[in-house]
């Protein structure tokens, strides 16, 4: 049986009269033959009307066929079998492929259920599949071949991401908007994680005229123990450095931790038997690891757990970039500061150089400049400070006096140096402890800020910048400013015994090192933690860009594996790419260059470790909205002409019509062109 998608196009059949009229009309022959005798033509009668027989009958039939084929193609015919079954139901399966659904092997069970449904459903049922991982995506369309679709679903691998139920249901609803079934249904195959429903609660209503079937959680919660991505930092201990690693553990239910191990660069450096308190749900462990300051540190934490429902969150990855040796230039008279900046004391972390006031004009800038305010009386010293800040470098200014030169320079940067008598004997009162220069005071080895006393300091009035510390009198004694592209730390005191007891404290050298690193021009960003599949944008250092070589590439490789390299194009000095779904440490290198540029750590989402489940029908009801008054969802049963456009597009009849029409047009053009060359009328 033949039907038509656009039957109204047959109203164009009267257009067949155009070629018929062209062939019935008689055109005057423009060719004139001159001869002398006209008298023999005078007695010939003239025809009263033109003959109605068409000229050139084969060409006429060809043109009629061409017009008919064009009309038929626009009507879009398709063949429907006599035993065609009507589409009664359109169903979309949402396959939850988030990390939490791996617990108790639920993802494998859900995947098999979808594959079985594709294989057993009749042709009266349309089926599509949406996979929910980090973002929802359509895996199977309604018109896809069932056997191919079942294999595609069976080949899906478990994901480590976290997605939104609401976004998956929205995508399913958009698929059902183009479906043919009278009944439209969404089936969610997942674990109904409680925090996923909570994340999507309160959304504006969007669900309409669609049935949604949700799973009933078999249990309220499952036992689980997980490790969060560790926080690592490098601490200076004398002339050495260690890596402090903070391990955060999360427990739910009766899972029992047997041991935790830490691997660095593939070697197990630590393995401890750990007993969490019986009712503790979270615990933090601090461990110290040996440092390798001249190389990237790849780390991994592994847990050995009994009674754990989800093993994929029992490990986490971290990394630490190598120490970049900076350079420090200084103008200071403090014996303690000169000793702390001596090369033999700060070796391995900073290259230091003492400046002479007579050589400042020819000085090649270092990363950081340390200068006492007494040297600002020289114009060359003030110009040196400005040159550092304009170049995007750091300056530490230690104010020991209220000279006009120091006051004028600070006034340019929004800090007023008051001419009052210096205050005396005042401890620290308020400190911005989250600032990087004060992070070392979290360790018991470096003492406490309460041990530090100020014997004397200058009074500052801050108009711009961020005060980092106040004396007990309420005066700011340490100010952080951004000047152009540079950074300026203003101390209201000198780092000398006359002004403070800080040089005698164990925290003096680590604090000084932290200040210098804060002032150092930022280098390339350190290794960062990412979620599976998260987008990453990395600006390639200008020194590594090779102009004139065309498009460059980065190579992303999972650390410790020879395979798994991904090439990432670099355009306009930036690389934009999505990180892999598999957790791990990934090395980033320029193609053809063995130098390690960056390490990216991919860890599972922390919320996926909370294996607490709840029914989502309450949240689902909040997504529903009432249908519009003129939106009648009780559609009539579908007729034979209600095939999907995709199915009609795949039929060959329309293509044959188009191909035959093009062939007829080609023959007609050739025919007319040949007749014109022979001098015949059209």
Rounded to whole angstroms, the Cα distance separating 307 from 223 reads: 7
Q: What is the pLDDT, as a whole number, of residue 603?
A: 95
Most confident of 69-73, 198-202, 572-576: 198-202
Determine the pLDDT at residue 173: 93
Residue-wise pLDDT for 346-383, tens only, equals 777 788 888 888 888 778 888 899 999 989 988 999 99
Q: How far is the C-alpha of 485 from the C-alpha of 417, rounded, in Å? A: 23
Q: Is the dihedral of CA 462, 464, 470, 472 positive or negative?
A: positive
585-622 per-position pLDDT tens digit: 999 888 888 888 889 999 999 999 999 999 889 999 99
Residue 204 phi, psi dihedral angles, 5° rounding: -65, 145
Q: What is the pTM of this model?
A: 0.63
* Chain mean position to CA 658: 45
Q: How far apart are CA 652 and CA 654, in angstroms?
A: 6
CB 360 within 8 A of CB 380: yes
Of 248, 271, 273, nearest to 261 by C-alpha is 271
- Which distant-in-sequence residues (6+ apart) come within 8 Å of 66 by Cβ? 661, 664, 665, 668
| The token pair that represents 600 in the structure block | 């990216």
User: What residue has token string 């150092």?
Assistant: 520
Q: Which range, of 272-281, 314-323, 559-568, 594-603, averages the lowest pLDDT?
A: 559-568
**Tokens coding 192:** 């109904």
DSSP code at position 204: P
Here the tokens at position 238 are 């004398």
Tens of pLDDT, residue by residue over 228-262, are 999 888 876 656 778 889 999 999 988 999 999 99
Q: Which of 187, 77, 226, 238 is nearest to 652 (CA)?
A: 77
Domains and CATH numbers, the chain: 2-82+651-677 (no CATH), 89-222+614-623 (3.40.50.410), 326-519 (3.40.50.880), 529-602 (2.60.40)
Pairing label, strands 466-471, 460-462: unpaired
Three-state secondary structure readout of 132-183: ECCCEEEEECCCCCHHHHHHHHHCCCCCCCCCCHHHHHHHHHHHHCCCCCCE
| pLDDT value, residue 641 | 44
- The rounded distance, in Å, linking the Cα atoms of 360 and 20 is 99
Helix axes 146-154, 106-120, angle to 10 degrees: 170
Backbone angles phi, psi at 267, to 5 degrees: -110, 135
Owner of token pair 């056997």: 147
Tell me the two tokens of residue 540: 């390639």
Determine the Cα–Cα distance for residues 88 and 127; give it in Å rounded to an integer.
11
Q: Are 301 and 262 in contact (CB under 8 A)?
A: yes
Residue 143 has pLDDT above 60, yes or no: yes
- Reference 84, options 639, 682, 521; nearest CA is 639
What pLDDT is stored for residue 37 in this prediction?
59
pLDDT at 8: 75
């Amino acid at each position: 049986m033949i039907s038509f998608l656009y039957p109204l196009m047959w109203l164009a059949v009267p257009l067949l009269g155009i070629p018929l009229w062209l062939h019935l009309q008689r055109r005057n022959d423009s060719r004139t033959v001159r001869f002398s005798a006209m008298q023999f033509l005078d007695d010939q009668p003239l025809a009263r009307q033109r003959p109605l027989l068409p000229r050139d009958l084969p060409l006429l039939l060809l043109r009629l066929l061409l017009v008919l084929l064009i009309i038929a193609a626009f009507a879009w015919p398709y063949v429907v079998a006599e035993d065609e079954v009507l589409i009664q139901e359109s169903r979309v399966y949402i396959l939850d492929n988030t990390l939490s659904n791996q617990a108790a092997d639920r993802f494998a069970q859900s995947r098999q259920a979808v594959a079985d449904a594709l294989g057993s459903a009749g042709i009266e049922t349309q089926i599509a599949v949406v996979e929910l991982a980090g973002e929802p995506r359509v895996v199977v369309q309604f018109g896809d071949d069932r056997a191919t679709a079942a294999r595609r679903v069976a080949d899906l691998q478990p994901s480590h991401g976290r997605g939104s139920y609401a976004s998956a249901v929205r995508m399913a609803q958009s698929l059902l908007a183009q479906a043919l079934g009278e009944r439209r249904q969404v089936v969610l195959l997942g674990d109904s994680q409680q925090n996923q429903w909570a994340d999507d609660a309160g959304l504006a209503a969007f669900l309409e005229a669609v049935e949604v079937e949700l799973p009933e959680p078999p249990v309220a919660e499952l036992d689980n123990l997980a490790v969060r991505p560790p926080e690592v930092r490098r601490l200076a201990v004398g002339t050495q450095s260690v890596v402090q690693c903070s391990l955060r553990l999360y427990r739910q239910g009766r899972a029992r931790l047997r041991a935790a191990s830490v691997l660095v660069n593939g070697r197990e450096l630590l393995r401890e038997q750990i007993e969490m308190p019986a009712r503790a749900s979270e615990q933090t462990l601090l461990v110290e690891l040996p440092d390798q300051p001249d190389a990237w540190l790849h780390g991994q934490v592994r847990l050995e757990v009994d009674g754990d429902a989800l093993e994929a969150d029992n490990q986490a990855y971290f990394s630490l970039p190598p120490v970049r040796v900076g350079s420090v230039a200084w103008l200071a008279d403090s014996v303690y500061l000169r000793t702390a900046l001596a090369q033999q004391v700060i070796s391995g972390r900073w290259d230091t150089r003492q400046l002479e006031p007579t050589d400042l004009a020819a000085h090649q800038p270092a990363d950081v400049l340390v200068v006492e305010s007494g040297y600002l009386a020289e114009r060359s010293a003030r110009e040196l400070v400005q040159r550092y800040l304009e170049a995007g470098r750091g300056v530490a200014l230690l104010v020991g006096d209220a000279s006009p030169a120091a006051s004028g320079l600070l006034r340019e940067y929004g800090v007023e140096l008051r001419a009052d008598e210096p205050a005396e004997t005042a401890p620290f009162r308020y400190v911005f402890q989250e600032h990087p220069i004060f992070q070392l005071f979290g360790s018991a080895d470096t003492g406490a800020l309460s041990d530090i006393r100020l014997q004397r300091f200058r009074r500052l009035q801050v108009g711009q910048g961020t005060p980092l510390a106040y004396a007990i009198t309420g005066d700011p004694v340490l100010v952080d400013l951004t000047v152009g592209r540079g950074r300026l730390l203003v101390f209201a005191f000198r780092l000398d015994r006359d002004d403070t007891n800080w040089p005698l404290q164990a925290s003096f050298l680590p604090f000084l090192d932290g200040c210098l690193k804060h002032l150092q021009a930022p280098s390339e960003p350190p290794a960062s933690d990412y979620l599976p599949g998260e987008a990453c944008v990395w600006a390639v250092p200008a020194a590594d860009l090779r102009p004139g070589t065309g498009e460059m590439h980065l190579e992303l490789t999972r650390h410790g594996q020879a395979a798994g390299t991904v090439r990432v194009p670099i355009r306009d000095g930036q690389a934009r790419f999505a990180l892999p779904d598999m957790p791990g440490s990934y090395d980033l290198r320029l193609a053809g260059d063995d130098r390690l540029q960056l390490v990216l750590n991919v860890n599972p989402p922390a919320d996926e470790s909370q294996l607490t489940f709840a029914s989502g029908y309450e949240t689902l009801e909040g997504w529903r909205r009432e249908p519009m008054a003129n939106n009648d969802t009780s559609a009539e049963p579908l007729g034979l002409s209600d095939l999907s456009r995709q199915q009609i597009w795949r039929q060959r009849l329309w293509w044959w019509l188009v191909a035959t029409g093009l062939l007829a047009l080609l023959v007609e053009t050739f025919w007319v062109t040949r007749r014109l060359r022979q001098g015949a009328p059209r």
